[in-house]
Amino acid sequence: MAYARERQKRYVNTIKGKEASTRCKKKHQAKLRSTPEGRITLRYRRIKCEWGVTVADWWLKHSPTCFVCGPNILYNKAPSRKNKRSNQAELAIDHNHKYTRKDYKNNSNILPRGLLCQRHNLGAGMFKERKLELERMIEYLHTND
C-alpha cells in the first residue's frame, strides 16, 4: 500500500500527472457547481479562505436576505452562473472598512455587519459609508418629490 502511494506522489509531480490531477479537480468542481448544495460548499470554501472560519460559519448560519431590501425578498446563497458570469444575484458580505480581511481572519470576535444585495452594497460603497452624505442625499430626494 505504501509503495502505491509513493508511486502516485511521483506521478503527480510529472507533467502528465499534474494535467491528470487538474482534470480530476475541474471535473469535481463542475460536479459541485451543478447542485445548489455544491455551490454553497464551494462558496463556503472561498469565504473561509478569504475571511476565515468564523466569518464563513457566520455566513452559513445567516439567512439569505439583504438587510436593506428586507425579509420579503429572498436571495440565493450561491446562485448558478450558467447563463451569465454575473454576481448580481449573489449577496455581498458587508463589513466595517476599518478592519481588513486579515483582521477578520485572525480575530474571531470581529464579525461583518450583515449581508447586502449587490445594488445596496455598491450604493454604500459609492457614499464611502459617510452618514452625512447619505443623510444629505435622503434630504435631497425628499425636497425634490
Residues 16 and 79 in one domain: no
Note whether 29 and 42 are same-domain residues. Answer: no
Question: pLDDT of 12-34, one tens digit each?
Answer: 889 999 999 899 999 999 999 88
Domain that holds residue 10: 1-34
Q: What is the mean pLDDT of residues 76-105?
A: 79
pTM of the model: 0.76
Q: Are residues 93 and 59 in the same domain?
A: yes
Is the dihedral angle over the CA atoms 63, 66, 70, 75 positive or is it negative? negative
Does 30 share its domain with 44?
Answer: no
- Regarding whether 40 and 20 lie in a shared domain, the answer is no
> What is the model's pLDDT at position 130?
83
Same-domain pairing of 65 and 131: yes
Same domain flag for 9 and 19: yes
Output the CA angle 110-127-51, nearest 5 degrees.
Answer: 25
What pLDDT sits at residue 101?
Answer: 84
C-alpha–C-alpha distance, residues 109 and 103, integer Å: 10
Which three three-digit cell numbers place residue 91? Answer: 449577496
Render pLDDT for 109-126 as a digit per residue (tens, 0 to 9). 999 989 998 888 888 888
Kindly state whether residues 54 and 84 are assigned to the same domain: yes
Cell of 82: 450558467
For residue 78, give the nearest of 38, 113, 50, 116 by alpha carbon. 38
**Angstrom distance (rounded) from CA 3 to CA 112:** 48
Q: Which positions ≥6 away from 129 have C-beta within 8 Å?
A: 97
Indicate the helix (H) or strand (E) that contains 90: none
More confident residue, 81 or 137: 137
Long-range (24+ apart) CB contacts under 8 A made by 13-19 are none
12 and 64 both lie in a single domain: no
**Structural domains counted in the chain:** 2
- The residue with cell 503527480 is 12
Question: Are 40 and 30 contained in the same domain?
Answer: no
User: Looking at the structure, do residues 12 and 77 belong to the same domain, yes or no?
Assistant: no
Whole-number Å distance between alpha carbons of 103 and 123: 24
Do residues 14 and 59 share a domain? no
DSSP string for 28-54: HHHHHHTSHHHHHHHHHHHHHHHH-HH
